Every structure is written in structure tokens, then in C-alpha cells.
Amino acid sequence: MNAPDHFQTAGRLGQPLHGEVVIDTHGHLGHSPDFPIVRPTAAALVASMDRMGIQLTCISSIPAIFGDAEHGNALVADAVQAYPDRFFGYLVMDVGYPDKVAAQLARGLAGDFRGLKVWSYGARTGLPYNHSNYEPVFAFAQQHALPVLAHVFGPELDELEGYIKKYPRIRWLLAHIGSAELEKYKRFAREYPTVWVELCLSSCPRGLIEHLVAAGLEDKVLWGSDAVFLDQASQLGRVLFAQIPVSAKRKILGLNARRALGLEPGK
Ligand SMILES: [Zn+2]
């Protein structure tokens, strides 16, 4: 093993990273109907970010992805207003109620939201991404060149591929690489300039990040935590302690996210 770099040292000491761009591309706020979460609030998440040196967390609302978009999105809007430099808001749409979607999208973009979050049926009963109700959502994202964070756990990749080809102005963040269909995630990241793959996953497959870097994908991998479902610290440690060059850690922890989210300085 090589001598520890300063990412590893900060992790071992439990100290925040300094002088690095660290962006969590996949976070949430709010309570879950599935299991209790202690203090799933904006203030608690900012405290977590400060403990680790995370500048920005991109959040969607847990109540919104579980079917209450109106109230759920309001949680995220409040957080963005309270901490405009610390949160990037993903809007969630009520895709099951297509009459509501156009107004939700217009209101969200005019307000506090800079991207969209979609959460399809892999995790629950619901509409697959290739259902016609998603068409206006992705058409809107194309029109406004928005980033879209898509929950993916395998089969959703096929549902999304047509949209990836059809809507080249959307920047796609495909979540949970390592869950299933690893080769397909890698193919998407290689083949489509608008696709990035995102890391958060509770099972933390050993060697995954090393594998992706060795496969030449260090410009296409994004760090995300799935906070407040998961702790940011455990997911951050996967990158801090990965056996990859420091330059690749920098890309994965923040530099790639700047591009995927349209946050490059001067833009
Ligand atoms: Zn998530």
C-alpha cells in the first residue's frame, strides 16, 4: 500500500477535508415512511457536511419521492433558501398525476430547483421510466438543459436509454452503480457524453471504485451518499480510502460533479 494521501489522513483522523472540491450529488431530506431517520433536517445535514468538508449537497425530498411531491419539495426549497451555498435542489414530480406535472416543473425551475430527481419502479410499485407520463418530464429537462438524477438499480437503464439518445442536452446522473448490471452502467458512461454514474450504495462493493478507474471512467464517476438514508461519512470513506491516484479522487469527489451539474466556475 502506498503512503497515505491527505484524503486518507483526513478520514483516519475524522477531520474535514480542506482545499478540495467535495460535492455530494445524491442526498435527501425528510422522514421516510419505511424506517425512522434521526434528525433528517437541513441543519443536521449541514453539520454533517461541515464535519467532513463537503461544500455542497444535492438534495431531493424523501416525502416527495414517496408520493407527496408538493409538501416534499417545499422541504427542499426551504433548505435551499436557508443555506443557498450549501444545497442544490432536485425537484420531484408527481408523475402518477400527469395533469400536475407541467405546473410543478415550471414552478420548481422558477423557484429554488436546479435539477430533477426521478425514482422509478425498481424500488417499489410505480411507473417505469419509459411510461408516457415521463415524456413531458424529460422533454422539459431537455428544453432547459437540466441535470437529472435517476434512481437506477439495473432494469431502469434500458428504460432510460431511449431518452438518453433522444435528449442530448440532459445531463444524466445514473445512481447506485454497483447495485446490478455493472457492465451496462459502464457502457452507458463510456458511450454517452451526457451520462455520469453515481456511487452511493449501502453494500459498498469492495474494489468497485478501483475497478471503475482502471476501466478508464474516472471522468464519469460521481460521489454521492444517499444521505439521510445513509451516513455521508461511510460513503465518503469509500472514496477517501480507495486505492486510486489523488487526481482521480479529486475528480470523483467534486470536479466531475461540477461538470455534470453545470457548476463550473465562470458558467
Ligand atoms: Zn437516493
- DSSP per-residue letters across 119-148: E-GGGSSS--TTSGGGHHHHHHHHHTT-EE
Higher-confidence residue: 25 or 1? Answer: 25
265 pLDDT more than 90: no
Question: What percentage of the chain carries pLDDT values higher than 70?
Answer: 97
Measured in angstroms, how far is the CA atom of residue 226 from the centroid of ligand 1? 5
Distance 211 CA to ligand 1 centre (A): 23
Instruction: Give the model confidence (pLDDT) of 243-263 as tens digits.
Output: 999 999 999 999 999 999 999
Cell matching residue 67? 408520493
Q: Report how far ligand 1's centroid is from the alpha carbon of 210 (Å).
A: 23
Question: Which range among 32-36, 67-71, 171-175 has the greatest average pLDDT?
Answer: 171-175
Position 165 confidence tier, pLDDT thresholds 50, 70, 90: very high
Residues 135-153: tens digit of each pLDDT: 999 999 999 999 999 999 9
Residue 124 has pLDDT above 70, yes or no: no
Instruction: Give distance in angstroms: CA of 230 to centre of ligand 1.
Output: 9
151 CA distance to ligand 1 centroid (A)?
A: 7
Q: How far is the CA of 178 from the centre of ligand 1 (A)?
A: 14
pLDDT surpassing 70 at residue 267: no
If you measure from the C-alpha of residue 1 to the centroid of ligand 1, how many angstroms do you get, rounded to a whole number? 33
Q: How far is the CA of 78 from the centre of ligand 1 (A)?
A: 19
Residues whose Cβ atom is located within 5 A of ion ligand 1: 226
pLDDT value of position 67:
86
Rg (CA), the chain: 17
What span, in angstroms and rounded, lies between the C-alpha atoms of 5 and 210?
Answer: 16
According to the CATH classification, is domain 6-261 in 3.20.20.120? no
How many residues are given for the chain?
Answer: 267
> 148 phi and psi, to 5 degrees?
-125, 115
Distance 234 CA to ligand 1 centre (A): 15
For residue 173, report the distance from its CA to the centre of ligand 1, in Å.
12
